[in-house]
A and B are shown apart, each in its own frame.
Chain A
Amino acid sequence: MGEDYIGPTVERFFHFDPLIALTTFIASRAFFASLALAGVTILVTIVLGRVVCGWACPLGAVHQFASFVFKKTKFLRPNRDEKASVAWKYYVLAFVLASAVFTLDLVGILDPLSFLYRSFAIGVFPGLTHVASGLVGALYGLKLDAAAQPVSQWFQTLALNSTFRQGLLAFALFALAVGLNAKKERFWCRYVCPLGALLGLFSRWNVFKVRVNMDKCIKCNLCTMHCQTQAVPYPNEKWRSAECVYCGTCAAICPTAAITFPATAKPEKLDTVDLSRRKLILTTGLGAFMAPIFRISPARKRADLKLIRPPGAIAEEDFVRRCVKCGECMKACPTNALQPALFEAGPQGLWTPMLVPRIGYCEYYCSLCSQVCPTGAIRELKIEEKTTIKIGSAWINKNRCIPYALGKPCIVCEEHCPTSPKAIKFVMVEAKLFDGTTATQKAPVIDNALCIGCGICETKCPVVDEPAIYVTSVGEVRSKTNQLLLPLLGQEPPQQ
């Protein structure tokens, strides 16, 4: 706790995700070695079918549980004969892959792992944190200090971030996704999930197949009605191996135990999902066309001053191709500084991480975000390198800075500047006050060459409504164009 180390376990789940691996590879034209683990998932799926969806996927588990609750509470009543098309997720997949061919990486929006992690990181956990704070506060309010203190202390060791822009939106989208299970069982898994679709494409040669023993079958249709993913176990010849997640519900619910999952090598004539060629062409074309549409945004021409990326972030054009908006960095950041972008990075940058110094700053000796990024959009850094990476430049607004504007002492920014030598120095200034007198005070001046843009000055500045010292993105070393100073002869140009 408090150590600058998060093991690879956190990001490992993402490395097994073949949708992320494939899309990121196509979009960025670069292969991130750890994502090779996704090959394991593909192999497992080829042999065993979509068991990953049925047994491993955490979002699948959420939806399965929600469906279970909705069924038990009678919100969800499955149709006897479900006609809704499960083809939609394949169109989503086509859209994502087609746009990736043209370097647009949209996988993060609907990839189940990204969706789940992001929703929890910026929506669910922060909400729960506030519930817990409320409870602790109530205990203290009731003067039950002896009970409240150990709970409060333990909670602080979790170091959960509880302040996020778009947190409400993230929670609402998650609630919507879960709520849709009241309409159809495992709505997301059946109709939305592009990863499910991708794995479905690989599950045509499953070793284990569903078999209905017609001697025992009483044609009650309970199996098909309660099949979680609409794989239609009965009639047996209509069973869709690409949809079956091997949850075993059909076998469990069959009143005559007529369903088994034998392993047979011989390929059976199986029904596959009916994909409309027209719809497929349409969504593929639309996906391909999204890339040039997204390039209309001015974000591609001029960096936004507020778009301060985490240290270790690769150049912007490559960054948005690799970032899957999973939210891991935002959760790991010890000061809650990393926040999901809205418009600052253009439409392709939605929910990618940016530093917001008014909420938190980049802790000097911290490299946690670079340790958890699953796709290498933030490349992993050692501390010695991290402390030299400039992510932006600080500026002083002399109209608001207390010594300049009010003639009173304050050096909070200099006090907190972590570099040595400090990037904030002093000059003596004379402030003309409203009563005609002059006050002489130490006032801060920024040494741009030393400033790394960490933002602690802005976070701690006592002018709380609009800090008198603030950081903007210009000068970030990862960008060739977002610079202001002429490189001096002999000095290296900005590196990537």
Chain B
Amino acid sequence: MDRREFLKGAAAAGLYMKMGSVFVGAEPAGPDLAAITGESPAAITKAAVDALGGMKKFVGRGDKVVIKPNIGWDRTPEMAACTNPEVVRALVEMCLGAGAKQVVVMDNTTNQAQRCYARSGIAEAAKQGGAKVLFTDENRLKKVTLKGAWLKEWDVFQDFIEADKVINVPIAKVHSLCRLTLSMKNWLGALGGARNQLHQKLDEAIVDLQAFFKPTLTILDAYRILVRNGPQGGRPSDTELVKTVVAGADAVAVDTLGASFFGVRPEELLYLRLAQERGLGTSQLEKLRVEKRTI
């Protein structure tokens, strides 16, 4: 090859590298929101995250990850009070597969912590997946300035602040005050102190918390949802099998889709309106790429 040919080739290669995607017709960027339905909670969780581009899009090599499920209640998985343990295990495995240095699973429970962790099945499932399952420790509470519109400061567990990435894994349930408890209400489990005072301005508080925690990924467990007597139920008849997991980086969008399982429109939820106004996400699903599939 002589010098002229070499230069031609190099220029062409450079041009191709810059604009090759246009010529080859490369695939467009993946969906913003995925809702996968299926029999296996683990499989639909994996599929949902894969549809968004895979866990490596959210978790980097060497990251310290904290996964925040709802472990709040001393109930078995059939009662749909806590996050489905299979969903949690699948997420743990995916994070470790994406190269996370450490995956911690924890929640500040409502009932006695040891019982909640055991009866919900989450401690066992997460351990099997390879996670470090920790109880919240009052010694690790720190008064944090939240820069919220309403909530200025609160005691937060340092584990959530020190993590490189936080993944929010709530379960979809009804709630008497905010109507539905979806992703943003789940942040109450990252707090210490007198959380029972937050109900006096609950919608505003959870929006402030969502803005503070900035999760890298939100996975809404709608495999078995709670439609009556929320947020802890008590009879299997309080639950409904929807067998779906909704995943997305935009928690407002995730919750909007999640609300539809209860027949609730996003405008009916004050906290979603406030979150959208704050720029935390969008409820207008028609503007997003949504992938809905059954496997």
Contacts and interface: CB of A to CB of B under 8 A. Distances in A.
B69 interface: no
Nearest to A360: B112
A416 B176 CA distance: 11
Interface residues of B, number: 36
A420 B238 contact: yes
A66 interface: no
Interface in A156-206: 156-157, 159
Nearest to A159: B114
B197 interface: yes
Contact of A411 (B139, B177, B234): B177
A3 B112 CA distance: 11
Nearest to B110: A416
A1 B114 contact: yes
Contact of A410 (B74, B200, B229): B200
B176 A415 contact: yes
B26 to A, nearest CB: 46
A334 B112 contact: yes
Contacts of A153: 134-135, 137
A212 interface: no
Contact of B196 (A137, A148, A159, A461): A461
B111 A3 contact: no
Interface stretch (A114-122, A361-369, A430-438): A361-369
Most buried by A among B110, B194, B231, B232: B232
B137 A149 contact: yes
B142 to A, nearest CB: 11
A451 interface: no
Interface in A58-90: none
Contacts of B176: 411, 414-415, 426, 442
Contact of A409 (B113, B140, B199, B235): B199
Nearest to B76: A365
Nearest to A157: B114
Interface in B229-275: 229, 231-235, 238
A487 interface: no
Contacts of B214: none
Given A1-B118, A409-B177, A419-B234, A140 B196 contact: no
A412 B176 CA distance: 10
A402 B139 CA distance: 31
Contact of A464 (B134, B194, B228): B194
Given A136-B139, A159-B112, A408 B231 contact: no
A414 B114 CA distance: 23
Contacts of A321: none
Contacts of B112: 2, 159, 334-335, 363
Contacts of A415: 175-177, 199, 231
A165 B235 CA distance: 36
Interface in A436-465: 442, 460-462, 464
Contacts of A1: 114, 118
A317 interface: no
B115 A460 contact: no
B43 interface: no
A334 B115 CA distance: 8
Contacts of B151: none
A3 B115 CA distance: 6
A418 interface: yes
B200 A366 contact: no
A13 B98 CA distance: 53
A420 B235 CA distance: 6
Contacts of A334: 112, 114-115
Nearest to B202: A409
B139 A418 contact: no
Interface string B69-108: 0000011000000000000000000000000000000000
Given A136-B139, A420-B234, A462-B194, A411 B199 contact: yes
Interface in B115-144: 115-119, 123, 134-135, 137, 139-140
Given A2-B117, A2-B119, A334-B114, 16 more contacts: A1-B114, A2-B115, A136-B139, A137-B139, A156-B135, A334-B115, A363-B112, A363-B115, A366-B74, A411-B177, A411-B199, A416-B110, A420-B228, A422-B229, A442-B177, A462-B199
CB-CB nearest 3 A-B residue pairs: A420-B234, A2-B118, A2-B114
Interface of B: 74-75, 110-119, 123, 134-135, 137, 139-140, 175-177, 194, 196-197, 199-202, 228-229, 231-235, 238
Interface of A: 1-4, 136-137, 140, 145, 148-149, 152-153, 156-157, 159, 334-335, 363-366, 402, 408-412, 414-416, 418-422, 426, 442, 460-462, 464
